[in-house]
Amino acid sequence: MKIKDIKVIVCSPGRNFVTVKIITDEGLYGVGDGTVNGRELSVASYLEDHVAPTLIGMDPLRTEDIWQYLYKGAYWRRGPITMAAIGAIDMALWDIKAKAANMPLYQLLGGRSRDKVMVYKHVGGLDISEVAEGVVALREQGLDAIRAQVAIPGLPPIYGTGDSTDQDALLNKRVVPHEEVWATHKYLPLVPKLFEKVRDAVGWHVHLLHDVHHRLTPIEAARLGKDLEPFRLFWLEDAIPAELQEGFRIIRQHTTTPLAVGEVFNSIYDTHTLITEQLIDYARVTSVHAGGVTGLKKIFDLAAIYHVRSACHGPQDVSPIAMGCNIHVDVAIPNFGIQEYSGYTKLMHDVFKCAWSYDRGYLQPGEVAGHGVDIDEDLAAKHPYQQAYLPVARLQDGSMTSW
């Protein structure tokens, strides 16, 4: 079997997605996700101009060798664009391999380690009461794990705090990013009050999570983690900008609140210090941004040695293909923790046909051969790329902060 052709498909059925389709000379094909939110066309160009031409004629079953070829064969390694391109190719190759074996992908990863995959969903609101009501509503839908976020009183809603921000795809379709305002001194005393109210509302038999969106310094994050200890959070996510892994040592010294990070990581090297020093409890890398199934497995196999669990990033701008690959890895690895799941619109599911399924807080990978996701190219063509960006945040004095 040889790689005959590689297509790169960019579409926007509500969100922009970059999809790779690898076609073999025996008729088998596989698809992969290469989406990097706000930089989609960069990945598409990388794939079309620099990756696809080099792979024609190769054996698609040599997944590890092709992964190493794309990673080591370029002088400029790593980074979100390169690793998303590698991830897209890798997902498509594993899809072909599993189809050739006539097995669902998870069987090639060692078979099931669990019967189902626990997810968490998001609740946000403009005030604490609204968030508490939303958490109760999701709990009644069967969710065992829920992330809670609240807007800062006196400031406009900021990304990650509710329907008016992160869940509205139309908001993000801008020529330049939308700018928002952040105030740490108003945020820090607010969050413990939020979780006191939420715990009172839903009790202790539900996992509660919170995302800081990288907006604190290490000592601020340590103080927040300590203040949240009475409410027994499942985790505190992205407490600080993650470029300086050593910063997590300060947080770890001061709090027993579990820590999660990694959605902006692209390789095992980005996680190395955090995992080997046991500075985090959950690694939030995802297949599309960390080099596909192969890259994800490398990271989670290392994490398993150090008592760190998986927690794949799963927002709506990770396409259903990457979500499907995540689920197959989730169900197979021994150190699974949780899977983020924002869900998809009907149109997204029409464009991306999925064998995986969701029901009352849990996901199943499906039993079809491959990773179980395909793309309707004709329907995708009716929804062309639209320029869009996530918002950026500034402090009240006008200086930049992380979002």
Distance between CA 84 and CA 271 in Å, rounded?
A: 17
336 DSSP assignment: B
**Residue 97 vs residues 8, 36, 368, 371: alpha-carbon distances, Å:** 20, 25, 13, 10
Structure tokens at 87: 């991830």
* 371 in catalytic set: no
**Beta-carbon contacts of residue 39 (< 8 Å; ≥ 6 apart):** 80, 81
H helix runs in 203-235, sequence order: 218-228
Strand partners, 237: 211, 260
* 159 in catalytic set: yes
Residue with tokens 């001194």: 185
Contact 53, 5 (CB under 8 A): no
Phi first, then psi: give them for residue 190, nearest 5 degrees: -75, -40
The pairing of beta strand 207-211 with beta strand 145-150:
parallel
Burial pattern 348-366, b for ≥16 Cβ within 10 A else e, equals beebbebbbebeebbbbbb
Nearest CA among 1, 12, 98, 33 for reference residue 314? 33
234 DSSP assignment: S
* Catalytic position from the list 46, 106, 120, 159: 159
Distance between CA 52 and CA 43 in Å, rounded?
A: 12
* Catalytic position from the list 71, 122, 210, 213: 213
Structure tokens at 260: 């999660």
- Residues with a catalytic annotation lie at 159, 213
